[in-house]
Structure 1
């Protein structure tokens, strides 16, 4: 029969075995990993030159095109759908949200919305305007285009998405 003492021994044995299993996994991981932690990868021992500049070996023909030519074929309707990613922080009705309003942003001065507290990164560019090219660079990677920006959005990787969004923003006047 299973009495209390026998059940306690079984549970204790199971917990002890689990502890040994977890400690063994931890010791094995610390012995056989390079780089010292989770997610770290060792340095690549050698590089094979494939002739590609992006380092991934696959080229995207849309990325090679210049933004102006892609913008001429952009679809503002699709850009309105892409703007759905922006709606959480930006508005088109002239009022500011977490970010400044974006109606009439194309060719408007950078950091020019009165009363909005811009980051120093964008305030330093206030002499420039939000041209289609500047918007393209910012939308591709905000942190790279304006290091120190408060905008936490990672960016739009597809050039067609950026062109569609700029085409849509061109339709939203003051």
Structure 2
């Protein structure tokens, strides 16, 4: 069972493990010490970044110009983010089908159970309404059941709308 010699071995091995742990900690601190403790001064390195002039403000391009220059092929790639819930072949998935959505009345797909929150966006899915909605669906239509966070880049939204326009009705 448990005799004095076994107990001494267990205590000795625990003390040995603790000693190895403390020696390892001491070696690591001496190897990787960067200063700054116990009243020591630390050398600071200053990184020069140039003049502190404010950055030039980038003029925001109006959405109409972005849409006029939009690329439907690039929009098809952006649609990959929408493909999990929407289709463009006329069938509904988790979300309603999006072929012919540009110019269609909001909440107009027959047989689809809408949440009613989209009516805050407008009456018709115009490119401007789609742009506003796709930027942040939850802020454009609070209460919407759409779980998508939105497309922050205006170019991506314009390309996607150009692609949706090309899908027809």
TM superposition score normalised by structure 1: 0.66
Aligned match of 1:160: 155
Instruction: Indicate conservation of the 8 Å contact 2:137/2:148, yes or no.
Output: yes
Per the alignment, do residues 96 and 70 of structure 1 end up closer, same or farther by CA in structure 2, a change over 3 Å counting? same
Q: Provide the C-alpha distance between the structure 2 equivalents of 1:10 and 1:135, rounded to a whole number of angstroms.
A: 69
Structure whose alpha-carbon radius of gyration is higher: 2
Q: Can you list the C-alpha shifts for 1:10-52, whole angstroms capped at 9, x where unaligned?
A: 67x69xx9xxxxxxxxxxxxxxxxxxxxxxxxxxxxxxxxxx9
2:84 matches 1:84: no
Aligned match of 2:93: 97
Per the alignment, do residues 144 and 95 of structure 1 end up closer, same or farther by CA in structure 2, a change over 3 Å counting? same
Secondary structure of 2:86's counterpart equals coil
Aligned match of 1:65: 61
Q: Provide the C-alpha distance between the structure 2 equivalents of 1:166 and 1:151, rounded to a whole number of angstroms.
A: 18
TM superposition score normalised by structure 2: 0.68
Q: Of residues 9, 12, 36 in structure 2, which corresponds to 1:3?
A: 9
Using the TM superposition, give the Cα deviation of residue 144 of structure 1 relative to its aligned residue in structure 2, in angstroms. 1.1
Using the TM superposition, give the Cα deviation of residue 127 of structure 1 relative to its aligned residue in structure 2, in angstroms. 6.5
Q: Can you list the C-alpha shifts for 1:81-107, whole angstroms capped at 9, x where unaligned?
A: 010111011111111111111111000
User: Could you list the runs of 5+ residues in structure 2 that have no partner in the other structure?
Assistant: 1-7, 23-53
Aligned match of 1:30: none
Instruction: Write the mapping of 1:89-168 to structure 2, written as runs, cut at 5 A.
Output: 89-122=85-118, 124-125=119-120, 128-168=123-163
What's the RMSD between the two structures over aligned residues?
A: 2.7
Q: Can you list the C-alpha shifts for 1:62-92, whole angstroms capped at 9, x where unaligned?
A: xx22211110000001000010111011111
Secondary structure of 1:3's counterpart equals helix
2:160 matches 1:170: no
Q: Provide the C-alpha distance between the structure 2 equivalents of 1:10 and 1:98, rounded to a whole number of angstroms.
A: 62
Q: Provide the C-alpha distance between the structure 1 equivalents of 2:94 and 2:16, rounded to a whole number of angstroms.
A: 57
